[in-house]
């Protein structure tokens, strides 16, 4: 029960993944925490999140509501601010760094802003622990497949974030710094599925960049599962990666359109986009092991290497979204399993995000 009696700080806790993570923690499935601190800079999102707990809808929300009333704390602040980070982290046992600038085009046009959030924010967390001796047990960074062999600013800054936290294990041996890296989260805010839903609702066209472009896909719940597994199992400096399926962007669009007569418009690749994403690079494959449904990328720094490990390498090449692409029927089944195929006018709830 890794959260039992613990104080957990979630930076960027009002984002799609942060909200789902907090909800799962408050359910008590891995122990009832002492406190959950949400640090973010948007007061409106914090208000909406607070109201979502106050106005519980069904009896099964009772345990979450009770835990919310007792343990959930909201703090306005920014990971870019060292002072804000120190104030929030000083009593934390576990830190989940979900704060990020994650939109690829935004980061391309404002790279300095991406560096400040994704890199300086990570540095502030490490610096706060190192300079003040805060007794943080574990820090986990939420990364992305775009950090692997990055070609865009978002991926580059996330890749540096991974290195900042990996190296911190050498600087601060009493704290475990680990990462998770995953692909597109189905229906998360700003992702392609809500965009397609909105375009379909408004009669189209549905805009597809390149038909054969592939992307890894997993749900918000599976993203949180990855974080939970890494918190339980990952060794210092390791990065956990889910063995996730992939689909073409065209099949995703066709599956969501279904039998509607909605036009698909090909718009071309955007600045900073790859045709196929990579979750584990060819270089990383040589020190990657398989643990259940996840790959664990071992750190390259010799100070963190586990020379006595009996685990063997699980990959002999990079792990790409082009390797195991779902066909159309498989894509439909995946989206159906996550309640993302909707009839016209129907509303669904996914990770507390209302989608059309």
| Alpha-carbon gap, residue 218 to 216, rounded angstroms | 7
345 band by pLDDT with thresholds 50, 70 and 90: very low
Q: What is the pLDDT of residue 192?
A: 81
Report which of 69, 32, 31 is spatially closest to residue 50, judged by C-alpha positions.
Answer: 69
Tell me the mean pLDDT in the region 133-144: 97
| Alpha-carbon gap, residue 41 to 15, rounded angstroms | 11
Q: What is the pLDDT of residue 63?
A: 65
Which domains, and CATH codes, for the chain? 7-355 (3.40.50.720)
| Alpha-carbon gap, residue 242 to 311, rounded angstroms | 18
- Quick check: 114 and 101 in contact, CB under 8 A? yes
Q: Which residues are within 8 A (CB) of 66 and not within 5 positions of it... i.e. 6 or more apart?
A: none
Phi-psi region at 162: left, alpha or beta (left = phi > 0; alpha = psi -120 to 50): alpha
Residues with catalytic function: 146
Query: pLDDT digits over 166-183, tens only?
Result: 999 999 999 999 999 998
Residue 344 has pLDDT above 60, yes or no: no
* DSSP codes joined into one string, 126-191: HHHHHHHT----EEEEEEEGGGSS--SHHHHHHHHHHHHHHHHHHH-TTSEEEEEEE-EETT-TTS
Mean pLDDT across the chain: 90
Q: How many Cβ atoms are within 10 Å of 266's Cβ, its own excluded?
A: 11
Q: What is the pTM of this model?
A: 0.90
66 band by pLDDT with thresholds 50, 70 and 90: low
């Amino acid at each position: 029960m890794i959260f039992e009696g613990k104080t957990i700080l979630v930076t960027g806790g009002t984002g799609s993944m942060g909200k789902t993570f907090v909800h799962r923690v408050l359910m008590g499935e891995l122990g009832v925490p002492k406190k959950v601190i949400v640090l973010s800079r948007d007061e409106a999102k914090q208000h909406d999140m607070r109201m979502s707990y106050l106005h519980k809808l069904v009896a099964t929300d009772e345990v979450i509501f009770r835990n919310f009333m007792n343990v959930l704390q909201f703090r306005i602040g920014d990971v870019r601010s060292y002072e804000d980070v120190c104030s929030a982290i000083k009593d934390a046992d576990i830190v989940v760094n979900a704060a990020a600038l994650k939109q690829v085009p935004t980061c391309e046009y404002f790279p300095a802003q991406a560096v400040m959030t994704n890199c300086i924010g990570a540095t502030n967390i490490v610096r706060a622990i190192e300079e003040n001796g805060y007794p943080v047990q574990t820090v986990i960074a939420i990364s992305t497949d775009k950090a692997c062999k990055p070609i865009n600013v978002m991926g580059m800054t996330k890749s540096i974030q991974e290195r900042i936290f990996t190296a911190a294990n050498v600087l601060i041996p009493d704290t475990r710094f680990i990462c998770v890296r995953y692909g597109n989260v189905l229906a998360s805010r700003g992702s392609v599925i809500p965009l397609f839903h909105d375009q379909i609702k408004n009669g189209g066209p549905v805009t597809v960049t390149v038909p054969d472009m592939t992307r890894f896909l997993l749900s918000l719940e599976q993203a949180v599962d990855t974080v939970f597994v890494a918190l339980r199992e990952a060794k210092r400096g390791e990065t956990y990666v889910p063995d996730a399926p992939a689909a073409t962007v065209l099949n995703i669009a066709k599956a969501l359109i279904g039998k509607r007569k909605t036009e698909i418009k090909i718009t071309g690749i955007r600045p900073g986009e790859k045709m196929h994403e990579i979750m584990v690079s060819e270089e990383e494959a040589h020190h990657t092991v398989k643990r259940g449904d996840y790959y664990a990328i071992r750190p390259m720094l010799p100070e963190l290497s586990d020379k006595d490990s009996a685990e063997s390498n699980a990959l002999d090449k990079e792990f790409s979204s082009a390797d195991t692409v779902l066909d159309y029927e498989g894509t439909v089944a995946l989206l159906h399993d996550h309640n993302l195929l909707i009839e016209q006018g129907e509303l669904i709830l996914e990770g507390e995000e209302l989608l059309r």
